[in-house]
Amino acid sequence: MKRHPILIPASLLALALAACGPAPDLEEGPAAPVAPAAGSPAEAVPVAGQEEGVTVRDPWLRQPPPSAGVSAGYLLIENPGAYADRLLAVETDAAERVEIHEMDEVDGLMRMREIEGGLEIPAGGEVALQPGGYHLMLMGAGEGVVAGRHVDAVLVFERAGRVGVTFEVRPPGASAAADRGQAHGH
């Protein structure tokens, strides 16, 4: 079956790209840091049931622009195990659905597309979901996706199974390193 690109109205595409693209340079300076919830967003979360475990670090969501209803999610997934794993889905009550997306540049234009079949996490490796690259798209994001709040979700992996995670919601102009007050080494 041949798949055709989905045509999206320009206004909706602009909002979606703003939600998942790199943070804009703000003249007022970076947004104020938001403290992570105790024991979750900034700390590693080992997965039970796998010898060496998949680890999730720094899960955060960008608050949607006003009236957009679309948010982007980011995190680092580490897989020190001997076998590759695959992030198949993300479940949360905070959105109507969550898709795993990839952004890349084609002929000087940024293109965003859903990743079919999930995102591979290589054995002994890691995958960063970050602005301008791999990311989660929360479609129909609810009123609870507001800066300063936390959103619970379940990451569904092929090998590791269901992994609970809590995302920190950051302001619309947030970036990973700036809001943690440190450089990200990955």
Indicate whether 185 belongs to any domain: no
**pTM of the model as a whole:** 0.70
Indicate whether 176 belongs to any domain: no
Indicate whether 24 belongs to any domain: no
Q: What is the CATH number of the domain that holds 89?
A: 2.60.40.1890
Element (H, E) at 179: helix 176-180
Reference 144, options 38, 41, 64, 36; nearest CA is 64
Q: Please check whether residue 45 is in contact with residue 55, taking contact to mean a CB–CB distance below 8 angstroms.
A: yes
Q: Outline where 42-163 has alpha helix (H).
A: none
CA 66 to chain centre: 19
State how far the Cα of 146 lies from the Cα of 169, in Å rounded to an integer.
Answer: 6
Whether pLDDT at 48 is above 90: no
Indicate whether 8 belongs to any domain: no
Indicate whether 9 belongs to any domain: no
Element (H, E) at 76: strand 70-79
State how far the Cα of 175 lies from the Cα of 151, in Å rounded to an integer.
Answer: 18
pLDDT digits (tens, 9 = 90+) for 64-102: 988 888 999 999 999 999 999 999 999 999 999 999 999
Confidence of residue 53 (pLDDT cuts 50, 70, 90): confident
Indicate whether 31 belongs to any domain: no
pLDDT digits (tens, 9 = 90+) for 121-160: 999 999 999 999 999 999 999 888 999 999 999 999 999 9
DSSP for residue 66: T
Domain that holds residue 120: 45-171
Domains of the chain: total: 1
Indicate whether 90 belongs to any domain: yes
Indicate whether 122 belongs to any domain: yes
